[in-house]
């Protein structure tokens, strides 16, 4: 739970809860700034993704949610399910504050995670369905559980905290991420602990349990802040060589080793996403071994959506891989292949020289696009795209590559980007109020929100100071994931 968003919350005369299935009305999820393939709540405030878990063909997405207004506060867990991480069905709220009333909850339901208790280690299973367990922070009331024995349709509250509030009362402990560690035959929890105003004292505690109900702290790592995640990835896809990644809310991560109770960093802290709007990312648990992907969703914090009934959106689900580069191991992020489920009209270009002043994408219009390109800078000083371009030279949102200085700029953020074999690879997901840019196989990612002129839908590719060669370019217009 990101606690710097302690603005006054707006209380609306709305009953808590959300509706069931997606609607068929053309106006549903079709406001000018409503994302068309990124997840948003139907209305009101949303932040951290919570409890990402897969069970029997359904991806569950829980999230921090205020059912009473468009500002942060009154934290509950919203809930949605999907079979492809695109077409979401809203479910009723899953986790409620333990005590109090709106605007004055004693124990609001802050962030956490979810697991499937396949072997009934907790003893909570009743019936044939395996138990889905949600582990979360009831702020001021310890780490708590709710659980489901009907595949996530209804939820029961475990009566006691599984980790009580720390006795000294000066530490802030929250955001448990739990997973099963097969070699140790134990559950692992990574939990943020630390005084928020003392960066040197912050860190991640690692706990072990055999049953999800009793936990023992084993170690502590300084230098990380809230919403931790810990997971294993194969290096360059080689199952014989694996490393662990410890990730924090701000996108910083360490690569290292983990023995079930202690994480040992082997790198400096590295930034996973360098855009303006990437926070509190979490990855899915219980993805089947036959799939094997590590799938991550982040909150695109800080976006603005004028006159919209909702506030905030999730980033698009991405697959994480670990690759070796000359400078060391790096996590790469790339959109899940399921995005192809909403592909519409395709525009493609191959082996085309582009001169200054020309636009090979003048025929393409759209507010939801997947752009994939491999480009040789050639003699150009710079090249790039303008998203949601209008009828003036200064309109639109640029994605610009400075070929002379080898730098990529997106929404005010600039990063170094070296060509690979003389080429720059770019992938851009453009939605109605966000851009996610992935460069050179996902080694670089930048997630950002923006406010376009909503009537502008043109797309431009340009070159400056010389010619570039477009080896390949594919632009897919994306259908709305919300219109049935």
466-to-174, 354, 381 alpha-carbon distances in Å: 53, 9, 7
Q: Do the Cβ atoms of 437 and 354 come closer than 8 Å?
A: no
Chain centre to alpha carbon of residue 55: 19
Q: What is the largest CA-CA distance in the chain?
A: 69
DSSP 69: -
Residue whose pair of structure tokens reads 């855009």 in the numeric block: 275
Instruction: Return the half-sphere exposure (C-beta side, CA atoms, 13 A cut-off) of residue 333.
Output: 27
Give the angle 2-316-82 at the CA atoms, nearest 5°.
100
- Token reading at 14: 């709305």
Element (H, E) at 245: strand 238-247
424-to-204, 420, 421, 442, 470 alpha-carbon distances in Å: 37, 6, 9, 12, 10
Q: Do the Cβ atoms of 192 and 226 come closer than 8 Å?
A: yes
User: Beta partners for 324?
Assistant: 329
Residue 412 Rama label (left phi>0; alpha psi -120 to 50; beta) = left
> Hey, how many other C-beta atoms are within 10 angstroms of the C-beta on 56?
11
Dist CA 48 CA 65 (whole Å): 9
Dist CA 192 CA 133 (whole Å): 19
Give the angle 281-113-230 at the CA atoms, nearest 5°.
60
Dist CA 313 CA 220 (whole Å): 32
User: Beta partners for 413?
Assistant: 410
- Token reading at 279: 């926070």
Dist CA 290 CA 142 (whole Å): 36
Asked about 48 being catalytic, the answer comes back as yes
User: Beta partners for 260?
Assistant: none
Residues acting as catalytic residues: 48
């Amino acid at each position: 739970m990101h606690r710097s968003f302690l603005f006054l919350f707006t209380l609306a005369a709305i009953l808590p809860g959300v509706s069931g299935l997606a609607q068929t009305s053309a106006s549903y999820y079709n406001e000018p700034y409503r994302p068309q393939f990124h997840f948003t709540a139907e209305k009101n405030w949303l932040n951290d993704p919570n409890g990402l878990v897969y069970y029997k063909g359904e991806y569950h997405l829980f999230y921090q949610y205020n059912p009473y207004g468009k500002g942060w506060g009154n934290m509950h867990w919203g809930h949605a399910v999907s079979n492809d991480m695109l077409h979401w069905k809203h479910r009723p709220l899953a986790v409620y504050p333990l005590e109090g009333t709106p605007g004055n909850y004693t124990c609001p339901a802050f962030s956490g995670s979810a697991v499937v208790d396949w072997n009934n280690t907790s003893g909570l299973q009743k019936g044939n369905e395996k138990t889905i367990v949600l582990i979360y922070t009831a702020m001021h009331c310890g780490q708590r559980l709710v659980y489901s024995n009907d595949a996530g349709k209804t939820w029961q509250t475990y009566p006691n905290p599984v980790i009580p509030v720390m006795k000294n009362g000066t530490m802030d402990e929250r955001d448990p991420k739990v997973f099963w560690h097969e070699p140790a035959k134990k559950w692992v929890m990574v939990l943020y602990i630390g005084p928020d105003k003392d960066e040197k004292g912050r860190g991640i505690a690692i706990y072990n349990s055999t049953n999800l109900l009793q936990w023992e702290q084993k170690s502590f790592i300084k230098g990380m802040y809230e919403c931790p995640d810990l997971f294993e990835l194969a290096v360059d896809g080689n199952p014989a060589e694996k490393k662990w990644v410890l990730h924090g809310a701000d996108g910083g991560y360490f690569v290292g080793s983990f023995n079930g109770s202690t994480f040992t960093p082997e790198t400096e802290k590295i930034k996973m996403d360098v855009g303006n709007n990437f926070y509190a990312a979490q990855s899915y648990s219980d993805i089947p071994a036959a799939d094997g992907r590590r799938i991550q969703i982040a909150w695109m914090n800080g976006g603005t959506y004028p006159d919209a009934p909702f506030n905030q959106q999730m980033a698009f689900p991405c697959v994480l891989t670990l690759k070796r580069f000359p400078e060391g191991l790096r996590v790469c992020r790339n959109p899940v292949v399921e995005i192809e489920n909403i592909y519409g009209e395709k525009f493609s270009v191959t082996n085309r020289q582009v001169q200054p002043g020309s636009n090979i994408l003048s025929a393409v219009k759209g507010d939801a696009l997947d752009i994939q390109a491999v480009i040789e800078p050639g003699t150009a000083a710079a090249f790039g795209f303008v998203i949601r371009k209008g009828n003036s030279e200064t309109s639109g949102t640029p994605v610009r590559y400075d070929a002379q200085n080898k730098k990529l700029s997106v929404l005010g953020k600039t990063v170094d980007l070296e060509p690979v074999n003389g080429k720059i690879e770019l992938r851009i997901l453009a939605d109605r109020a966000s851009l996610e840019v992935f460069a050179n196989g996902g080694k670089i990612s930048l997630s950002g929100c923006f406010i376009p002129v909503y009537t502008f839908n043109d797309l431009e590719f340009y070159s400056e100071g010389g010619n570039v060669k477009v080896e390949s370019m594919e632009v897919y217009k994306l259908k709305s994931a919300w219109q049935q």
